[in-house]
Structure 1
Amino acid sequence: MLTRRRALLAGAVSLGAAGVAAACTPGTGNRAATAPPPAAGARAARRPLKPSEYRLRPLTGYGPPRTAPGGTPVRREPLLRVSGRGRTMVLTFDDGPDPRYTPHILDTLARYEVRAMFFVCGEMASYNRDLVSRMADEGHVVGNHTWSHPLLTRLRRSRIRSEMERTSDVVEKACGDRPEWFRAPYGAWNRAAFQLGAELGMEPLAWTVDTLDWTEPGTRTIVGRVEDGAAPGVVVLSHDAGGDRSQSVRALRSYLPELLDSGYHVTVPRRQYV
């Protein structure tokens, strides 16, 4: 039993660290993609914005997800790729809201009339409910990123449920609706997280492009990682809390208009199950 638990923990953490996730689009089955990020702090290569050579390759060995009570499937892998017409991308921001940085990110998104996803931590949301309300009022998707940002693979099932439920309760009080999406801290998923998320009516969403902005590599590097990774269906991971996120704020102001000028449609995903 001990060996099995250690193997499960190692597999879940390895999965999150590598950013490997499965995607489900109508008529295409599950797909996955991996894109090793540049070393933190390294200057990203710059080239004209266009769909990169990043490709999504089919996964084998995964059948259709089981459906939990309420209609949400219990997945074995988090969703990664999003479906949409043309060059559709999704921007996501984790760990907030933080009154020092989140308002600036919301201002930039509003300026360009773009919607994004915010995976909030319940503890942060409880102190900044006005920002959670603003997110929802401006058309953004508010997702669940647990209460205190723990490593789920080290928690008992009851603790995972508490982390998720408390956060969903705070979000509902702030904007009237419970989250329909969740993201595991550190990208460390396990079976309990998938099952409990589905029971609470939430789909798991990972990411395709990791900006590694939490390492504070410099605004130019963050911009380069987003532009170099841009491709149809991509989900970009950034942060609006958890440290000094001034570089993330400045980077968004730079790469967002560039993406839009290059023909990308930045939006939020739609639930495929109700």
Structure 2
Amino acid sequence: MKNDEWLQGRRTLLRGGVALVGLAATAGCWSADRAGGPAKPAPAGGAAGARAKQLPKASAYRLAPMTGSGPQRAAPARPPVRKAPILQMSTATRSMVLTFDDGPDPRYTPDILATLRSHDVKAMFFVCGEMAEESPDLLRRMIDEGHTIGNHTWSHPELPRMDRKKIRDEIERTCDAVQKAVGETPRWFRAPYGAWNRDVFELGSEYGMEPLAWTVDTLDWQEPGTGSIIRRVLDGAAPGVVVLSHDAGGNRSQSVAALRRYLPELLSSGYRLGVPTRAV
């Protein structure tokens, strides 16, 4: 009888221990989710509207720490919520930043990367998630060669026309695609068409990204001619300038040709071309 009572008491204790472990695991998952961080080409500039696709209800990146499908990642430092995008970088040195939107595109991005590499210049690539998902090898090449990848939404919509949930989906899906390709999420965000509102600034900050616009627009999406693109870059050159070009979203052969010509001229004029390490 005593043995039966002892066994019954031990079973009760074991059941209680299992329940406590279950509660602890549930609390741990909730805390991980709370602490977790952010997890083609649509036409550039004034080109025709972006292609619409059905967006998922939840991000695989955000669910990964809870489902155990991937390693838990630390949340990125959250920058301040800005009221306007950054237009230029520090003017303390004779430096400029070259940026390329809407890619990657296997027809044009490799040539742009090759030109940058031949001059040992680093640039920023604001990628669309649907393009990034199709060419993850190009994203890995960008990182391997020292460039910076930014978030340019999934499908290049006009964000202020969307509700907050849809904006979040556009931003989060692209963070997921970049994370999957290169193992880290973007730290910079650029709104398609340069169209911003408070929701965009708040969500960008929530995902650990600074908003970057541009100082010089090459208007290369209009295919104005290689010479026109070159003149816009050289005429707008100045310390702190951020140059907007595109490596996808249409025929970008003029953008590729223009880069080959204006890049050595900028370097010979004493400009340093690189990527920002922090916002101003």
TM-score bin, normalised by smaller chain: 0.7 to 0.9
Q: Please give the TM-score of this superposition, normalised by the length of structure 1.
A: 0.74
Contact residue 126 and residue 170 of structure 1 kept, 8 A: yes
CA distance in 2, matches of 1:230, 1:212: 15
Match of 2:215 among 194, 208, 215: 208
Contact residue 70 and residue 199 of structure 1 kept, 8 A: no
Gaps in structure 2 of 5+ consecutive residues: 1-44, 47-75
Alpha-carbon shift at residue 104 of structure 1 (Å)? 0.1
Match of 1:157 among 159, 164, 184: 164
CA distance in 1, matches of 2:117, 2:190: 24
Q: Which residue of 2 aligns with 1:190?
A: 197
**Residue 181 of structure 2: SS of its match in structure 1?**
helix
Identical residues among aligned pairs (%): 69
Alpha-carbon shift at residue 272 of structure 1 (Å)? 4.2
Q: Which residue of 1 aligns with 2:103?
A: 96
2:155 is aligned with 1:139: no
Q: Which residue of 1 aligns with 2:241?
A: 234
Q: Which residue of 1 aligns with 2:271?
A: 264
Alpha-carbon shift at residue 81 of structure 1 (Å)? 1.3
Match of 1:111 among 118, 133, 138: 118
Q: CA RMSD in A?
A: 1.5
Gaps in structure 1 of 5+ consecutive residues: 1-15, 18-68
Which aligned segments of 4 or more residues in structure 1 are displaced greater than 3 angstroms?
none
**Amino acid in the other structure paired with 1:88:** S
Q: Which residue of 2 aligns with 1:223?
A: 230
Map Cα deviations across residues 118-140 of structure 1 (whole Å, 9 max, x no partner). 00000000000000110011110
> Structure 2 matches for 1:242-253, cutoff 5 A?
242-253=249-260
User: Which structure has more helix as a fraction of its residues?
Assistant: 2
CA distance in 1, matches of 2:274, 2:90: 11
Contact residue 94 and residue 241 of structure 1 kept, 8 A: yes
**Residue 73 of structure 1: SS of its match in structure 2?**
coil
**Residue 107 of structure 1: SS of its match in structure 2?**
helix
**Residue 74 of structure 1: SS of its match in structure 2?**
coil
CA distance in 1, matches of 2:206, 2:169: 13
**Amino acid in the other structure paired with 1:257:** P
Map Cα deviations across residues 34-89 of structure 1 (whole Å, 9 max, x no partner). xxxxxxxxxxxxxxxxxxxxxxxxxxxxxxxxxxx943110000001101542110
Alpha-carbon shift at residue 270 of structure 1 (Å)? 1.4
Larger radius of gyration: 2
Map Cα deviations across residues 96-115 of structure 1 (whole Å, 9 max, x no partner). 00000000000000000000
**Amino acid in the other structure paired with 2:124:** M
Match of 1:128 among 117, 129, 135: 135
